[in-house]
């Protein structure tokens, strides 16, 4: 049975570690995916990268469906193509709870990844899925959406999250 994992919170230095490629899609990786999916759905969120649960391998789970029943598993994902057209979207992150801000990203992307069966597949994404794919792959590369914001905003977010942690610890 899948278990719920702890999600690292910004500015934890482990969030900035670059993930290594998965060597083989085996039972250990399938178990990690099940645990990550459960964690994402319970949070609740629409995407989760292994980096966020302190596993530094290139694994992502995403589900942008209305009913949260269309799990997309990306193992060793790579963006093959990005549209020149950029769009600005409001983003949030399970590692940066309660913080939302606008980030500019490619409007459309083409992605290659391995599935749970270890077989490669490709797909095109736009809208929320394109945003989510780029956001989660950033996590695998040691980048958090806050990195796209101004230094002043980054500082304010760190201060606010540290204050929340102190209040939670005191409670």
Cite the annotated binding site by residue number. 93, 135, 139
Active site residue 136: yes
From 66, 70, 136, 165, active-site residue: 136
User: Distances in Å between the alpha carbon of 135 and those of 27, 48, 171?
Assistant: 26, 9, 32
Instruction: Quickly list DSSP for 32-81.
Output: HHHHHHHHHHHTT-SEEEGGGGT--BSEEEE--STTS---EEEEEEEEEE
User: Encoding tokens for residue 99?
Assistant: 């913080």
Specify binding-site residues for Fe cation. Answer: 93, 135, 139
Catalogue the active-site residues: 136
């Amino acid at each position: 049975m899948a278990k719920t994992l702890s999600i690292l919170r910004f500015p934890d230095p482990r969030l900035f570690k670059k993930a290594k490629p998965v060597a083989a899609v085996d039972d250990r990786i399938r178990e990690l995916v099940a645990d990550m999916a459960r964690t994402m759905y319970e949070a609740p969120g629409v995407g989760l990268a292994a980096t966020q649960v302190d596993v530094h391998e290139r694994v992502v789970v995403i589900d942008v469906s209305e009913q949260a029943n269309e799990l997309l598993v990306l193992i060793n994902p790579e963006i093959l193509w990005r549209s020149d057209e950029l769009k600005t979207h409001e983003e949030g992150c399970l590692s940066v709870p309660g913080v939302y801000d606008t980030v500019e990203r490619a409007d459309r992307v083409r992605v290659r990844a391995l599935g749970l069966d270890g077989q490669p597949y490709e797909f095109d994404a736009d809208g929320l899925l394109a945003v989510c794919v780029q956001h989660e792959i950033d996590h695998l590369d040691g980048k958090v959406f806050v990195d796209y914001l101004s230094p002043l905003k980054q500082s304010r977010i760190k201060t606010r999250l540290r204050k929340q942690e102190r209040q939670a610890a005191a409670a």
